[in-house]
């Protein structure tokens, strides 16, 4: 096992982390704050990819601008969904799940009817970085950097802005926060829009790397769901980071040794084992530890 092979494993590991982080972060933030699972997340990702591709081919905007445009449009669409549908299911988690599933079906089948089964994708920027006998896709490295930046940005937002503090307060105790004069309805609206915008960003970023089909959302959500389950909703940022770090390790190792499919089965089994011992996921466990330490210090 040469050093270059290790570097290539590391590259795959970073690639997997980026994928899991980008696919799951929006879903996780919505779960953490609103306590709702958005099963249409994959379809929002698909929308992002479609908008990027369409604007790139038909309006001929530069690629980064297309991506920003899809983030904005999908975010606005999320706002619309929150106002019309999600708002009615704040106290009914399973109801929200089923309703968003219906939205997902309508979106994917609607895109299939409107735009056909597939679409010419955006050309992948061809930068490569070579190391030893291996050459690495520069765009993939860029994705990893963006994933980390987005996560840091979300962290900065939650811990360093006034709105972020209000959001965290809403997460902890919505009634109390409301009585302190924070409009929690607005917080929920903005959170859902933000989560959707992240889905749009994911779709836009991965648009050049995959084939654009209406059912492409599923390739993102199956791993995103596992990441969310393992990470838990107690703290979206810590949950997303820890769970994508662990799961990428599992899938990179297994995929390198036994193929991508075994890698995916390994993810499901890893998730089952983790929730058997940490039912609230990593972030719930970390929160629990923190509370216990504080309780011990208070004595």
Q: Which parts of this chain interact with other proteins (CB under 8 A)?
A: 31, 37, 85, 88-89, 91-95, 97-99, 101-106, 109-110, 112-113, 215, 218, 222, 225-226, 228-229, 261, 264-265, 268, 271-273, 275-277, 279-280
Nearest C-alpha neighbor of 125 from the set 55, 70, 62: 62
- Between the alpha carbon of residue 296 and those of residues 149, 205, 238, the distances in Å are 35, 45, 23
Q: Smallest distance, Å, CB 152 to other proteins?
A: 27
> Is the CB of 161 or the CB of 173 nearer to other proteins?
173
Residues belonging to the chain? 299
> Is the CB of 154 or the CB of 271 nearer to other proteins?
271
> Is the CB of 190 or the CB of 228 nearer to other proteins?
228
Beta bridge partners of 128: 137
> Is the CB of 60 or the CB of 276 nearer to other proteins?
276
Count of CB atoms situated within 10 Å of the CB of 290? 12
Q: Smallest distance, Å, CB 255 to other proteins?
A: 14
In whole angstroms, give the CA distance from residue 99 to residue 89: 9
Cβ(139)–Cβ(133) below 8 Å? no
From the centroid of its chain, how far is CA 66? 20
In whole angstroms, give the CA distance from residue 6 to residue 190: 42
Q: Smallest distance, Å, CB 106 to other proteins?
A: 4
Beta bridge partners of 131: 134
> Is the CB of 106 or the CB of 149 nearer to other proteins?
106
Q: Smallest distance, Å, CB 128 to other proteins?
A: 29
Beta bridge partners of 109: none
Q: Smallest distance, Å, CB 54 to other proteins?
A: 20
């Amino acid at each position: 096992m040469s050093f270059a092979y290790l570097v290539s494993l590391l590259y795959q590991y970073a690639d997997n982390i980026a994928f899991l982080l980008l696919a799951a972060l929006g879903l996780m933030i919505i779960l953490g704050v609103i306590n709702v699972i958005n099963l249409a997340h994959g379809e929002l990702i698909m929308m992002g990819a479609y908008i990027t591709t369409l604007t790139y081919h038909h309006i001929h905007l530069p690629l980064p601008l297309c991506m920003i445009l899809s983030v904005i449009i999908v975010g606005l669409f999320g706002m619309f969904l929150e106002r019309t549908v999600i708002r009615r299911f704040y106290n009914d988690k399973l109801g929200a799940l089923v309703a968003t599933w219906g939205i997902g079906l309508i979106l994917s089948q609607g895109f299939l009817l409107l735009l056909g089964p597939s679409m010419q994708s955006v050309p992948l920027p061809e930068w490569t970085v070579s190391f030893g006998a291996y050459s690495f896709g520069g765009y993939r490295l860029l994705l990893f950097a963006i994933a980390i930046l987005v996560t840091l940005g979300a962290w900065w937002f939650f811990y360093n802005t006034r709105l972020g503090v209000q959001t965290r307060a809403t997460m902890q105790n919505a009634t109390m926060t409301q009585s302190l004069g924070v409009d929690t309805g607005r917080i929920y609206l903005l959170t859902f829009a933000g989560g959707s915008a992240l889905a749009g960003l994911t779709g836009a970023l991965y648009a050049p790397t995959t084939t654009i089909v209406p059912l492409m959302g599923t390739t993102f959500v199956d791993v995103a769901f596992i990441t969310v389950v393992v990470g838990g909703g107690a703290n979206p940022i810590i949950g997303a980071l820890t769970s994508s770090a662990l799961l990428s390790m599992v899938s990179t190792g297994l995929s390198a040794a036994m193929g991508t499919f075994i890698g995916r089965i390994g993810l499901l089994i890893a998730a089952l084992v983790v929730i058997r011992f940490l039912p609230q996921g990593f972030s719930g466990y970390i929160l629990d530890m923190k509370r216990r330490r504080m309780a011990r210090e208070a004595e």
